[in-house]
Amino acid sequence: MIFLGTVNGVGATLAVAHNDDNGTTLAVAQNDDNVHPDVPLQEVEVVATRATDKTPVAYSNMNKQAIEAENFGQDIPYLLLLTPSVSANSDAGTGIGYTNFRIRGTDANRINITTNGIPLNDSESHGVFWVNMPDFASSLQDLQVQRGVGTSTNGAGAFGASINMKTENVPSKSYGELDGGYGSFNTAKVTFKLGTGILNDHWAFDGRLSSITSDGFIDRASVDLKSYFAQGAYFNDNTLIKFITFGGQEKTYHAWDGVPDYILAEGNRTYNPSGYMGNDANGDPLYYKNQTDNYDQTHYQLSLLQRLNPNLNLNVALHYTKGLGYYEEYKTGRKLVEYGLENYQLDGETVKKSDLVRQKHLDNDFGGVIFSLDYKKDKWDVSLGGGANYYDGNHFGYVTWLKNYLGTANFQPNHEYYRSTGKKGDANVFLKGNYQLTPAVSLYGDLQYRYITYKIAGQNDTWDWLNNEMQQLNVDKKFNFFNPKAGIFYQINAKNVLYGSVAVAHREPNRNNYTDAAFNEKPTAERLLDYELGYKFNSPTFSAGINAYYMTYKDQLVLNGKVNEIGEPLTSNVPDSYRMGVELVAGVRLTEGLKWDGNLTLSSNKIKDYTDYVLVDDGDAPQQAEYYGTTDIAYSPNVIANSLFTFKHKAFHAGFHSNYVSKQYLDNTNRDDRRIDAYFVNNLRLGYDFKLKGLKALSANLLINNLFNAQYETSGWVWAAYYSNAQGGLDPYAEKSYFPQAGTNMMANVVVKF
């Protein structure tokens, strides 16, 4: 990828031909029309949660130009693919809609994500649903990915990485921008942006409206996404006040079940079982048209950045997020008792099972405050920060339709069959800083305390057959976490640096860890001890780096290959596990207009003394234990590699990206029949900038994904059990599904700036 950072103060950017912050000089400074020279405070808005050039952690930055170059409407996870140790997956196979990612094999539920320092992770699931934030990349100024524990931040604990996103700076000049694109699978993207520039020397406003629609690669995996971003700011020499709001409205057809292995083996890579209603008179399958996910999410942020003196800044922000929506699905042959419904009579027969339509709703509120006090003088660079947040979520479900219902059963439309609440408080405070011990050596320290309260009460959406009722939820947990970090940074000379760090992190279980755990499982908090050691080299024509890490876990909640009925992956605690590896990055200027960047991650991800517990159908032994010893952690490839050639000559520019991910396992048994094969994918990006009178810029761009039409899958799931046979023994059984990605596909766009 291309790393980008800021130099020479506000209003300049430096493009760097490698993945980490080596300070290389392989670029030229460029002016950014959307940065105002009188608002330098914008550049320190998120300093408290970010790594700097002397922070001894592994990190990568992407600035606005790099984001714009890769932004064709795909979600943020696909923009991150150029950074080390990242793999991504798309339910629809296109990178639009439901997408997710992993870093160092760690799933997104364990990756801390903030926007302007404000926590973005859902309080209960710990994930970020990018489908609720379509085209958010169009409103980003830059982002930073910290791998490993990283520095202290707000919100959920960082167990594999932290991602800090900063939204666009206040525009200095009035502007307009129209971005229209169309491509494969009837994918269409329209983005309109407008800004006032500086008004009366102290005010500025701008905003964005976006629409993305697509049929998807997978059958019926359509998306209809709308989003907006708006901000207003007041500033003077020492004060910056911003109000930001952004939101998304999504309607997506379900594609979270994947493609069963036996159908994939027949060559049908687009099959989607979601919404299946049975067959018509001709034997053709029928699918429910409204098998959709529908959700609105709106964010509000009000921030104050005050320069107290030349060495001290105060940053305070209030935030609130409203989420409201549901998903609807057709279910065949469901037992009525599971939905609190009575059996009914039809043609003289007692009906105990029936087809039905159900809706599962979420209605949640999340708000709080964050702060940081940032001091920089002489040998010290210190931040005191933290925040307090509260979440209140309601979960409830309805049966909206029942097949062949003739009015004799105890059923009314919108029959409510479960309701529960989740309430969570989360507060943290941290003190971190760098001290310049000698001209060559700086020391880093970081102390964080985090306190969490979490309560779940009511009924889950699952029938409890042991107690003959909806599963009753009664979770009341409190967590106290102390997360210390320390490191050293050594500037050997102008071209060489060395750093090392050790950090502790803790993470509480999420909602699914409690609600979907086996009856004999009680999920516990996880602990991570992370060791990092890195070296960087930089010269005017070549840069390189190596980062070695060892992450040892106690009670890590690892993906076990199973999913719940809406495709969410399930986890189990394992007492002893680790992830270790090396991340190599390099960049070289081959000619004046041609550069190459690459990164390679080699890792080993193991569970020690792993025992799998498999369901047995005969009822006498509900589970059968199988000991496997030391095994690979599921969804953790041992090799991830990226190569990027970028070329620019006058108005023409191009990029050729190659991505390799080695094989992964669907669960922790390491069975070869439960794996995702390795894949190698190449993408080509072409663009041309035109100069037309009356326009600031006009560019035409083409993105060809999967240039060589690789047939590959990026994720999947497995459900295993034993079934009794006629001889009184047990036969193994496993259901497997995969998520195929699209073959060669294209997206073209035209961007007009005025």
pLDDT for 47-90, tens place per residue? 778 898 899 999 999 999 999 999 999 999 999 999 999 999 99
Confidence (pLDDT) at 171:
87
Count of alpha carbons within 13 angstroms of residue 79, beta-carbon side: 31
What pairing do the DSSP bridges indicate for beta strands 161-167 and 111-115? parallel
Report the 10 Å Cβ neighbour count for 414: 9
Taking the CA atoms of residue 113, residue 29, residue 230 and residue 79 in that order, the dihedral angle to the nearest 10 degrees is: -40
Positive or negative, the CA dihedral 683, 751, 96, 284 is negative
- Fill in the DSSP letter of residue 65: H
d(CA 164, CA 152): 11
Confidence (pLDDT) at 515:
87
Give the helix/strand (H/E) hosting 515.
helix 511-515
Q: Who's near 491: CB < 8 A, 6+ residues apart?
A: 54, 439, 440, 441, 442, 497
Q: Quick one: pLDDT band at residue 9, thresholds 50, 70, 90? A: very low
Count of alpha carbons within 13 angstroms of residue 172, beta-carbon side: 13
Tell me the CA distances in angstroms from 394 to 323, 325, 363, 419, 456, one per residue in order: 10, 11, 5, 7, 10
d(CA 729, CA 326): 44
* Residue 13 in tokens: 């950017």
> Among 300-309, 472-481, 569-578, 687-696, whose mean pLDDT is lowest?
569-578
Instruction: Give the mean pLDDT of 189-215.
Output: 97
Looking at the chain, the whole-number percentage of residues with pLDDT higher than 70 is 91
Instruction: Give the mean pLDDT of 116-143.
Output: 95
Confidence (pLDDT) at 728:
75
Confidence (pLDDT) at 405:
74
Question: Residue 17 above 80 pLDDT?
Answer: no
Greatest alpha-carbon span in the chain: 90
d(CA 363, CA 343): 31
Question: Residue 20 above 50 pLDDT?
Answer: no
More confident of the two residues 130 and 409? 130
d(CA 49, CA 245): 21
User: SS3 for 642-704, per residue?
Assistant: EEEEEEEECCEEEEEEEEEECCEECCCCCCCCCEECCEEEEEEEEEEEECCCCCCEEEEEEEE
The one-letter amino acid code at 527 reads: R
Question: Residue 754 above 60 pLDDT?
Answer: yes
Question: Residue 13 above 80 pLDDT?
Answer: no
The one-letter amino acid code at 71 reads: N
Q: Quick one: pLDDT band at residue 720, thresholds 50, 70, 90? A: confident
Closest CA to 244 of 272, 277, 206: 206
Question: Residue 7 above 50 pLDDT?
Answer: no
Confidence (pLDDT) at 343:
86
Give the CATH number for residue 467.
Answer: 2.40.170.20
Instruction: Give the mean pLDDT of 529-539.
Output: 97
Give pLDDT tens digits for 371-387: 999 999 999 999 999 99
Q: Are 109 and 103 in contact (CB under 8 A)?
A: no
State which residues form the domain around 263.
Answer: 3-753
Give pLDDT tens digits for 589-599: 999 999 999 99
Question: Residue 215 above 70 pLDDT?
Answer: yes
Confidence (pLDDT) at 344:
84
Confidence (pLDDT) at 302:
98
Confidence (pLDDT) at 31:
37
Confidence (pLDDT) at 374:
95
Question: Residue 618 above 70 pLDDT?
Answer: no
Closest CA to 47 of 433, 497, 445: 433
Instruction: Enter the pTM of the model.
Output: 0.92
User: SS3 for 491-504, per residue?
Assistant: ECCCCEEEEEEEEE
Domains contained in the chain, number:
1
Q: Who's near 207: CB < 8 A, 6+ residues apart?
A: 193, 194, 195, 228, 229, 230, 231
Looking at the chain, the whole-number percentage of residues with pLDDT higher than 90 is 78
Confidence (pLDDT) at 347:
81
Question: Residue 687 above 70 pLDDT?
Answer: yes
Confidence (pLDDT) at 664:
97
Average pLDDT taken over every residue of the chain: 90
Count of alpha carbons within 13 angstroms of residue 252, beta-carbon side: 27
Instruction: Give the mean pLDDT of 288-297.
Output: 98
Question: Residue 10 above 50 pLDDT?
Answer: no
Question: Residue 11 above 60 pLDDT?
Answer: no
